[in-house]
Amino acid sequence: MKEIIKKYWGFDGFLPLQKEAMDCVLSGRDSIVVLPTGGGKSLCFQAPAMAMEGVAIVVSPLISLMKDQVDALSECGVSGVRIDSSLTGKEKSEVFSRIRGGEVKIIYLSPERIMMGEFIEFLKDTPLSFIAIDEAHCISHWGHDFRPEYRQLGRLKQSFPGIALHSYTATATDPVRKDIARQLGLTDPEVLVGSFDRPNLIYRARRRTSRINQVCGVLEKHQGESGIIYCIRRRDVDDLSAALRQRGYKASPYHAGMTAGDRKENQDDFISEKIDIIVATVAFGMGIDKSNVRYVIHTAMPKSLEHYQQESGRAGRDGLEAECILFYSGGDFAIWKSLMRDLDPDPARIGIEKLGRIYEYCTGITCRHKELLAYFGQSLEAENCGACDVCLDELTLMDDPLVIAQKILSCLIRLRQRFGGDYTAKVLTGSRDKRVLENSHQELSTYGLLSEFSLQAVRGWIEQLISQGYIRKGEEYGVLTVPESGWRVMRGDETPRLLRPPEKKKARAAVSRAIKDSWEGVDRDLFEALRELRREIASKKHLPAYIVFGDASLRDMARKRPSTGTGFLLVTGVGDKKCRQYAEEFLELIKDYSVSHGLELDLNLK
């Protein structure tokens, strides 16, 4: 396997659990493999396919994903094909001819295609090595992206007795993993669960104040880099993408309300780097294998931590640093809840519970990486992740949180625990709101107790107390009540943690370890020149730029500055075929740049 992945993919070794996953395929034992996005799941079945007799079948949910995978395999010298509705009759005939002629090692199919009666008969006459189910969480009702068409895959074991099934996903809790095994009828499967942690992702959560200004603040740090911006509603997507274009950003929208042609055009422009930014609903992303997404912005709270893990995970698939920032408000909870009103009682209850968990994540002030790992039943050994707003010390705590918390709790009690967070904050800040005056709450002893702070700051503290369990928020109308833990704060037996309002905090310039490590020794101007060459080559070949070379490969070139084909093969991600195809052009650019800038060539080539 090491020889194969070096020859075709240009990698020197295995990522965590890749070897174990490959062993399952090679030994013919059913498996469930859960690895984070960017953890190398595809290689777990692609590499063994090259070592085994017969053809490997890969079930994938989206045409765009299948096309990207097959294009990437072709660039590496691997004989892969796809069979889907986008192919012409002539193209399909050519594919079937290649399969019958034994020229193909990997076939990508949709779940609908593989379960067609005639196609099953065709595959029964084809020597198969194994069947891989990609995005396997789609088979489970408990998964975050359930797809009914995946359910029929449970018949594969009957149709192909003796052929091992291997399922792969990036986000699957224990109930989802058990459901996958049950639905597919797996036989004593090996279950391999990697760490859900993505140390190269830098997580931040901020209360939303001005959507466009906050988004542009992030974009200024990532000029010319690829990024995804998520919104809940279609109209938010349209409004934000239009506003960004007015400000000079190369941004396009993507949502289910657009025509299929417009969606495809915008997606293709993003993949080919004609535009830098896609503004989208969660309809975008599952079929995207783009490795060099440097940031993912959520302009509102996602519906669950599973969704956030999946959507933010589309950043930094190449293992390099990437920023994931979430701008939220209390209103996001209400929007998602209204969208769930037509659900059956059980799914609605589960959905509300999941909303509560991600709301706690947003308003919490503990390490973001630890919070995400804890949700998936894992833990972070390090005390400081070095890659979130909490651990980078970007959040400043109040010096007197106990006094502030006691004032807020006292106000809830004076209000007889009958009002929500917005109203409570208005009373505490001394608002002359009509409703406050009509209720005569300006006469309460707690009225105006926190008038020196903004309404937004007090509202934020209320949410922080909710997330820490010192205030309970009712499901029906968001009415706030004081649980026993809140009474302990009232007595001074416990002290919560509260954030200092952002307007009172000086800007910090903390840099994560991921950023420092990934750029160490890299000549940034040479990297940009290599990016431009990659873009030109990709445009001529009508391929996504990251399929020619990922950013990790370009940074390694700009770090090592090889001058020969032998040295070029030592760059990460350069296999035999890519060396034959691209070495001449890239080596010429590296040599010319290095000579003109007086730089040494062939550094750290070993």
Cα 192 to Cα 17: distance, rounded to the nearest angstrom = 7
Query: What does pLDDT average to in each consecutive run of 10 residues of the chain (606 residues)?
Result: 95 94 97 89 96 95 84 94 90 93 94 88 93 89 68 90 93 85 93 91 92 95 94 94 95 91 90 92 70 95 90 90 93 85 80 86 88 89 90 87 96 95 95 94 95 91 88 84 96 91 50 66 93 92 90 93 94 94 95 93 82
**In order of start, what are the domains of the chain with their CATH numbers?**
2-193 (3.40.50.300), 201-375 (3.40.50.300), 401-504 (1.10.10.10), 521-596 (1.10.150.80)
pLDDT the model gives residue 67: 87
- Is there a contact between 499 and 397 (Cβ–Cβ < 8 Å)? yes
Task: Compute the distance between CA of residue 276 and CA of residue 326 in angstroms, rounded to an integer.
Answer: 19
What pLDDT is stored for residue 500 in this prediction?
Answer: 85
Q: Cβ neighbours of residue 494 under 8 Å, at least 6 residues apart?
A: 470, 485, 488
Query: Which candidate, 564, 553, 588, places its Cα nearest to that of 10?
Result: 553
- pLDDT for the residue numbered 450: 96
Instruction: Report CA 37 to chain centroid distance, whole Å.
Output: 7
Strands 322-328, 201-207: pairing is parallel
- 127 residue type, one letter: P
pLDDT at 469: 86
CA distances for 147 relative to 66, 119, 136, 346, 498, angstroms = 17, 21, 10, 18, 41
Inter-axis angle of helices 345-363 and 305-312, nearest 10 = 60
**b/e code 426-462 from CB counts within 10 Å (16+ = b):** bbbbbbebeebeebebeebebbebbeebbbebbbbbb
- Return the pLDDT at 543: 87
pLDDT of residue 508: 46
